[in-house]
Structure 1
């Protein structure tokens, strides 16, 4: 559609760069407050959670409208099917590779092989409320809003593509989307406050010393996710003659926002604008990014097997090849529900444990003590993998038009 109005990237250009600087300063202040004033820092968690509750009513409609406009704007159901099929196939392949990488990393590094006497330094709750975990997991599976939103938006977009008044309706939807986007831009001024509160709380509650027994687990997770980004995604990008390093620099502001808020959804409208500006088609971005929130969670796919095998090693649970195969199959399913809310990867881990039956649910308390720090790596990896997926699918669809202003090509 020629009259299709793109998201105004100039609205977020300088603003986002300044915002990223504020977030960085806020994170440093959060570390200082959490370390030197822990009794105050522990009470600041509400700043982060309140911000997420504040933007959620706007994020969901923006995602919904992006999908509807993207699908209806294609005007060709065959192309919608092509994009969806290629995207889901790619997501399944890439997340399966991530799971296998997580299993291999945990078996090779053996993060659970640590001195058991050191575990007593962790403040582990006497028991976990199974009702709370199972209730949250059940609600999360039944009321997985991103997936329901995705299906409804695709159906509405398809129905809209058959309408005689399609162009007029799409223009009206674009105006609503742009209005919501502008509101989000103003709300994003609060991101540094949310980042400050979240970091102050994390440092106050867990500190540095309490993380030492789980340092090997954290190191294994971060190293494996870094390897996935730079080796796996880097090789795929190189095949398409795109520099992964340039791409990461291009989206650095969004990465800092995701890190500061522990939620990839906060940067949704920003990454959509960035990808379209880089040359990805509106149709591909409108389908791939929302689809990726449920099906392309590489960070969760790495996190789940590492944590599961960590517990097996820590509690000396013997695992056969059949057991490892069962773990992989279960995680292929549970990793797909780790979306929608910050920390949902931990809910997926709970579902994994309760499904496998071989792992003590009490170990979740131990893992929960560092989940805040695991969540940062998990969310960043999910976000990078999702953004990279949109670029790769655009290339597969031969629907990528390089922007001379955004040089992402590999230079020899």
Structure 2
């Protein structure tokens, strides 16, 4: 009976990933040379999921909007999503700014900027320069080539093209329904591939943690303990207070929601990337009672524009570098920093390390804090990345719930039942939702769940 009990829990993905993370930390600590050689395991899993993202995002957005049968409704959902993203991510930036000024984790380090070798962060600064300003950011949303955007996995251009294509299909009406159905079936095939890929998720988490601890060592956690503690504490406060209140306003429990997506949360912790769980999140949110059109539009867009964890990290990291170098920033300087971050924090798209590039772009545009100060974060960035990826994932899940509740399209009875159970209900309606057979327009759903 005990073996059956143990086997039941060992078969769960989140348990396997958690064990893999612990074993990876131990191996990286006691056998650092071997640990650093295991990086390809983590990279392989991320690469495996990334090869599926472009077609999944494209098909999810196109099928979702095309089945709304109303372009105005799609525009309304998108507008509400962007409005929510801006308000919450701005709040995250402000919270990060307040906490880092209160605790001052970089104070006392007394780093001389003249002694820093900036060559180690040259790759990040070059990428930051390529991003350019706000105008360049907007221009880069439009791809030079649709094929090139899919080949390179550029999320923003893919989302932009998907939106245009979906609107065109929605306006075409019933004549294109067979094509939309075909795209829907293609999407299910892709989700099947994702389920196969998730078998190696524990291996990816093991390799990622073994490499991180093996290369940078547990000692890095101690020397930068105050910064790490500040970021993790701030992220926890943001999740519990801000997102908790938001979910409560929606009539749902945040903690039950986090329990529902625990597999995805542990995979995110192990891989430090939310991209690894985007396909599963699409399915789980739909099974929660949110219509496919809303999930397909809001979640992928949130990955690009709603990085709450990255927002917290960027403000804290920028001020940390200034404090470490004894650079005095006035209130006006910090408000300018906040304004710049409103632009540079967008478009990170869940990629591990993208926040580091965004930080380089922020410092380069301000000319107040030396970009070379990024060197101070190199050894600890991976540990920080796990906190921001975790927060990003929870934030985007909550954002999808909020927009669906705002639109009055979420089935609250189903959502409460699923969250109470901790997993999708064995119900035909859920089976239909998972298989994509529901083609009910959002407007009809609004009347049903109003």
TM-score (norm 1): 0.90
Q: Does residue 1:154 correspond to 2:159, yes or no?
A: no
Alignment equivalent of 2:183, drawn from 153, 167, 173: 173
Cα–Cα, structure 1 residues 93 and 408, in superposed 2: closer, same or farther, change >3 Å?
Answer: farther
Residue in structure 1 matched with residue 346 of structure 2 by the alignment: 336
Residue in structure 2 matched with residue 397 of structure 1 by the alignment: 407
Alignment equivalent of 2:91, drawn from 92, 97, 102: 97
Residue in structure 2 matched with residue 312 of structure 1 by the alignment: 322
Cα–Cα, structure 1 residues 296 and 17, in superposed 2: closer, same or farther, change >3 Å?
Answer: farther
Residue 365 of structure 1: CA displacement?
1.1
Distance 1:224 1:130 in 2: 26
Residue in structure 1 matched with residue 134 of structure 2 by the alignment: none
Distance 1:114 1:271 in 2: 42
Which is further off, 102-111 or 138-147? Answer: 138-147
Is the 1:83–1:393 contact (alpha carbons within 8 Å) kept by the matching residues of 2? yes
Alignment equivalent of 1:376, drawn from 380, 386, 389: 386
Q: Which aligned pairs between 1:104-119 and structure 2 lie closer than 5 A?
A: 104-116=98-110
Query: Where has structure 1 moved over 6 Å in runs of 4 or more?
Result: 14-17
Residue in structure 1 matched with residue 69 of structure 2 by the alignment: 75
Task: State how many pairs are aligned.
Answer: 391
Distance 2:85 2:236 in 1: 18
Is the 2:105–2:226 contact (alpha carbons within 8 Å) kept by the matching residues of 1? yes
Which is further off, 57-66 or 161-170? Answer: 161-170
Distance 1:194 1:37 in 2: 18
Q: Does residue 1:41 correspond to 2:50, yes or no?
A: no
Distance 1:167 1:408 in 2: 36
Cα–Cα, structure 1 residues 388 and 63, in superposed 2: closer, same or farther, change >3 Å?
Answer: same
Cα–Cα, structure 1 residues 33 and 274, in superposed 2: closer, same or farther, change >3 Å?
Answer: same
Residue 366 of structure 1: CA displacement?
1.2
Which is further off, 90-99 or 266-275? Answer: 266-275
Residue 228 of structure 1: CA displacement?
0.5
Is the 2:29–2:217 contact (alpha carbons within 8 Å) kept by the matching residues of 1? yes
Cα–Cα, structure 1 residues 135 and 361, in superposed 2: closer, same or farther, change >3 Å?
Answer: closer
Is the 1:17–1:253 contact (alpha carbons within 8 Å) kept by the matching residues of 2? no
Cα–Cα, structure 1 residues 382 and 340, in superposed 2: closer, same or farther, change >3 Å?
Answer: closer
Deviation string 1:68-116 (CA, Å, 9 cap, x unpaired) is 1111011111110110110000100000000000111111111112454
Question: Helix, strand or coil for the counterpart of 1:111?
Answer: coil
Residue 138 of structure 1: CA displacement?
4.7
Residue 190 of structure 1: CA displacement?
1.3
Distance 2:255 2:394 in 1: 12
Cα–Cα, structure 1 residues 197 and 139, in superposed 2: closer, same or farther, change >3 Å?
Answer: farther
Q: Does residue 1:201 correspond to 2:211, yes or no?
A: yes
Distance 2:251 2:121 in 1: 49
Residue in structure 1 matched with residue 398 of structure 2 by the alignment: 388
Residue in structure 2 matched with residue 64 of structure 1 by the alignment: 58
Q: Does residue 1:290 correspond to 2:300, yes or no?
A: yes
Is the 2:116–2:373 contact (alpha carbons within 8 Å) kept by the matching residues of 1? no
Residue 181 of structure 1: CA displacement?
1.2
TM-score (norm 2): 0.83
Residue in structure 2 matched with residue 135 of structure 1 by the alignment: 126
Deviation string 1:172-213 (CA, Å, 9 cap, x unpaired) is 001111111111211111111111111001111111223322
Distance 1:16 1:69 in 2: 36
Residue 327 of structure 1: CA displacement?
0.3
Q: Does residue 1:406 correspond to 2:418, yes or no?
A: yes
Cα–Cα, structure 1 residues 54 and 240, in superposed 2: closer, same or farther, change >3 Å?
Answer: closer
Residue in structure 2 matched with residue 226 of structure 1 by the alignment: 236
Residue in structure 1 matched with residue 445 of structure 2 by the alignment: none
Cα–Cα, structure 1 residues 408 and 19, in superposed 2: closer, same or farther, change >3 Å?
Answer: closer
Distance 2:366 2:10 in 1: 43
Distance 1:48 1:41 in 2: 11
Distance 1:41 1:129 in 2: 22
Distance 1:59 1:16 in 2: 28
Cα–Cα, structure 1 residues 365 and 208, in superposed 2: closer, same or farther, change >3 Å?
Answer: same
Residue 15 of structure 1: CA displacement?
11
Residue 127 of structure 1: CA displacement?
3.0
